[in-house]
């Protein structure tokens, strides 16, 4: 264990992935798997700030459901989960590059090039997973691409499950109709293990859909369900001729070969999702910011988190002072935009329209999944950008990082980002999307790509 502890310290000193470490029993010498947790997910007695100053000193009284499930999962196994700490992310998940760090921490660096971004918002999860030499599972979270983007930039696997599969109880909400807890790992096996360990129906989260746990690990290699059917794959977002897309195409060739070897028929064709691509990003931002602006209103320096008492200010001035001093610029921008979209005179033009378009996008996907089993394309349009470049781009351009992955996120569809190769020595990612609650199928196919 001393080696694990030493490694955590070394990685963190150079890459800034952890905002909080959890004490580890250094005398333990059995089998173990290390687990890191996105800061927005509560673990009892460990400060949970969602990477924001405003939550300084918020020590949750309970474990989140995914932590409880994880502890239960390993109870009767001769392998011990070692929770190592809370990983950094963009404040409340607001960002695609993990440069919007709210607390007094340094910006995390890409494991392949420390001048580049590790992606966001779950950047700490991806970076640590890539860097550690030990077997590791990271419990991450995605609202609009916060798993796929960093997984792709850091060259690891990142699974975003169906909305409603994994309990959100104990997750500090960004946008509660979009937030999904997921898994990052170095290989598909540990993605399956991670999904099994956090899964479990939860009455305390009303959006959690009643379901039986599946044995995702066993189902990884089980071809029987797929032998007699033709697997239909739709290719998306591969028009441009560039290295990222070429890497995806190479992987698809590999996949085809492997399916042939397993005697599974496959049909591949290009699918036009221009409608989805055109509207997902604006709809995603209108809805996620509307929700975020109400979710964050509870943070006001009373009851928990940062405080400034005694004060001679009245309530309103006190709330304003606390929120002005402790939210980052990006957070304030998102609160203002989200509040605007909900206001009585604008809600029809923005919020209500966005909700209707979201429904259309989901319908469009479901129509596609009537004919296809999977959609495959690049996870991100670019490789990890240089941190210095990000500082110069506009907030709007920063939002474009989510162009590809906000689409399945908006529709609550399960998707996985798989390392697809390199471009300029930086990792690239390929994204596979499948229909709601077909994680077993998604992981099975991912396992055919090696």
Catalytic residues: 38, 121, 146
Nearer to other proteins among residue 55 and residue 406 (C-beta): 55
Q: DSSP 3-state assignment of 385? A: coil
Residues between 338 and 357 with contacts to other proteins, criterion CB under 8 A: 339, 342-344, 347, 351
Asked if residue 235 lies in contact with residue 269, where contact means CB atoms within 8 angstroms, the answer is: yes
* Near other proteins by CB under 8 A: residue from 55, 185, 376, 406: 55
Give CA 341 to chain center in angstroms: 25
Rule CB under 8 A: say whether 45 interacts with other proteins: no
At 232, list the tokens: 């239909």
Kindly tell me which residue out of 241, 303, 370, 388 binds other proteins, with binding defined by CB under 8 A.
303
Q: CA nearest 111: which of 356, 414, 406, 384?
A: 384
Among 160, 448, 186, 68, CA closest to 60: 68
Q: How far is the CB of 405 from other proteins (least distance, A)?
A: 20
Q: 298 by DSSP, 3-state: which?
A: helix
Please report, to the nearest 10 degrees, the dihedral formed by the alpha carbons of residues 386, 388, 390, 394 taken in order. -150
List all residues 6 or more positions away from 220 whose beta carbon is below 8 Å from its beta carbon: 188, 189, 192, 443, 444, 447
- Residue number with CB closer to other proteins (169 or 440): 169
* Residue 50 contacts other proteins per CB under 8 A: yes
For other proteins, the closer of residues 47 and 242 by Cβ is: 47
- 12 closest CA partner among 115, 82, 85: 85
* Contact call for residue 28 and other proteins (CB under 8 A): no
- 177-196 residues in contact with other proteins (CB under 8 A) are 177
Closer CB to other proteins, 275 or 315, in the complex: 315
Closer CB to other proteins, residue 170 or residue 234?
170
**Residue of the chain from 32, 134, 201, 319 that contacts other proteins (CB under 8 A):** 319
Distances (CA, A) of 364 to 143, 274, 305, 359, 408: 20, 11, 42, 9, 11
Tell me the β-bridge partners of 270: 235
Taking the alpha carbons at both ends of the chain, their separation in whole angstroms is 31
304 binds other proteins (CB under 8 A): yes
CA dihedral 325, 328, 329, 333 (to 10 degrees): -100
Stretch that binds other proteins, among 30-38, 122-130, 239-247, 336-344 (CB under 8 A): 336-344
CB of 339 to other proteins, least distance (A): 6
37 binds other proteins (CB under 8 A): no
Residue 346 Cβ vs other proteins, minimum distance, rounded to whole Å: 10
Shortest distance, position 50 Cβ to other proteins, whole Å = 7
Angstrom CA distances, 48 to 24, 27, 89, 160, 431, stand at 18, 27, 12, 22, 30
Return the number of the residue (60 or 408) whose C-beta is nearest other proteins.
60
Return the H-helix or E-strand segment holding 427.
strand 426-434
Contacts of 42 (CB under 8 A, 6+ apart): 48, 60, 62, 63, 64, 67, 170, 171, 172
Site size with other proteins, rule: CB under 8 A: 43
Site for other proteins, residues 74 to 133, rule: CB under 8 A: none
Is residue 299 at the binding interface for other proteins, with CB under 8 A as the rule? yes
Site string for other proteins, 238-277 (x = CB under 8 A): ----------------------------------------
Which one of residues 21, 47, 62, 277 is an interface residue with other proteins (CB under 8 A)? Answer: 62
Tokens 């029987």 belong to residue: 224
| Closer residue to other proteins (CB): 125 or 351 | 351
Element (H, E) at 407: helix 406-410
Q: Cis omega before residue 8 (within 30°)?
A: no
Indicate the residue among 90 and 291 with the shorter CB distance to other proteins.
291
The binding track of 199-238 with respect to other proteins, each residue x by CB under 8 A or -, is ----xxxxx-------------------------------
- Decide whether 52 or 245 has the Cβ nearer to other proteins: 52
Please name which of 48, 45, 29, 26 lies closest in space to residue 37, comparing C-alpha atoms: 48
Residues 145-174 that bind other proteins (CB under 8 A): 168-173
315 is a site residue for other proteins (CB under 8 A) = yes
Q: How far is the CB of 416 from other proteins (least distance, A)?
A: 25
- Please state, in angstroms and as integers, the Cα–Cα distance from residue 363 to each residue in 130, 156, 411, following that order: 36, 31, 9
Among 18, 35, 60, 186, binds other proteins (CB under 8 A): 60
- Interface ranges with other proteins (CB under 8 A): 41-42, 48, 50, 55, 58, 60-62, 64, 168-173, 176-177, 203-207, 290-291, 293-294, 297-300, 302-304, 315-316, 319, 339, 342-344, 347, 351
């Amino acid at each position: 264990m001393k080696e694990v502890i030493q490694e955590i310290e070394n990685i963190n000193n150079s890459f800034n992935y952890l905002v909080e470490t959890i004490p580890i029993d250094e005398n333990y010498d059995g089998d173990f798997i290390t687990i890191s947790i996105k800061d927005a997910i509560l673990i009892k007695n460990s400060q949970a700030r969602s990477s924001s100053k405003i939550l300084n000193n918020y020590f949750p009284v309970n474990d989140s459901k995914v932590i409880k499930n994880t502890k239960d999962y390993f109870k009767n196994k001769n392998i011990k989960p070692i929770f190592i700490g809370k990983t950094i992310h963009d404040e409340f998940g607001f960002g695609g590059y993990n440069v919007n760090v709210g607390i007094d921490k340094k910006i995390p660096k890409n494991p392949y090039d420390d001048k580049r971004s590790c992606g966001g918002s779950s950047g700490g999860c991806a970076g640590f997973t890539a860097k550690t030499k030990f077997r590791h599972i990271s419990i991450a979270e995605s609202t609009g691409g916060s798993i796929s983007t960093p997984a792709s930039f850091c060259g690891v696997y990142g699974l975003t499950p169906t909305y409603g599969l994994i309990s959100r109880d104990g997750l500090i909400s960004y946008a509660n109709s979009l937030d999904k807890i997921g898994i990052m790992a170095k290989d598909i096996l540990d993605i399956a293990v991670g999904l099994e360990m956090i899964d479990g129906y939860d009455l305390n989260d009303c959006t959690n859909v009643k379901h039986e746990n599946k044995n995702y690990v066993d189902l990884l290699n089980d071809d029987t369900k797929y032998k007699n059917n033709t697997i239909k794959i739709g290719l998306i977002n591969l028009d441009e001729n560039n290295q990222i897309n070429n890497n995806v195409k190479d992987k698809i060739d590999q996949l085809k070969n492997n399916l042939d070897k397993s005697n599974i028929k496959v049909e591949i064709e290009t699918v036009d999702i221009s409608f989805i691509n055109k509207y997902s990003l604006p709809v995603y931002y209108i809805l996620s910011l509307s929700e975020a602006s109400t979710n964050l209103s509870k943070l006001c320096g009373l009851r928990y988190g940062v405080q400034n008492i005694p004060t001679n200010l009245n309530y309103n001035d006190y709330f304003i002072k606390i929120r002005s001093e402790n939210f980052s610029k990006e957070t304030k921008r998102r609160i203002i935009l989200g509040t605007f979209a909900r206001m009585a005179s604008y809600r029809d033009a923005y919020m209500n329209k966005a909700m209707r378009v979201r429904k259309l996008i989901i319908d469009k996907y479901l129509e596609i999944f009537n004919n296809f089993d999977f959609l495959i394309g690049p996870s991100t349009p670019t490789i990890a950008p240089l941190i210095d470049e990000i500082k110069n781009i506009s907030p709007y351009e920063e939002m474009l990082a989510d162009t590809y992955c906000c689409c399945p996120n908006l529709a609550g569809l399960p998707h996985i980002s798989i390392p697809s190769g390199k471009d300029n020595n930086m990792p690239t990612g390929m994204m596979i999307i499948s229909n709601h609650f077909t994680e077993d199928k998604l992981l099975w196919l991912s396992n055919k790509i090696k």
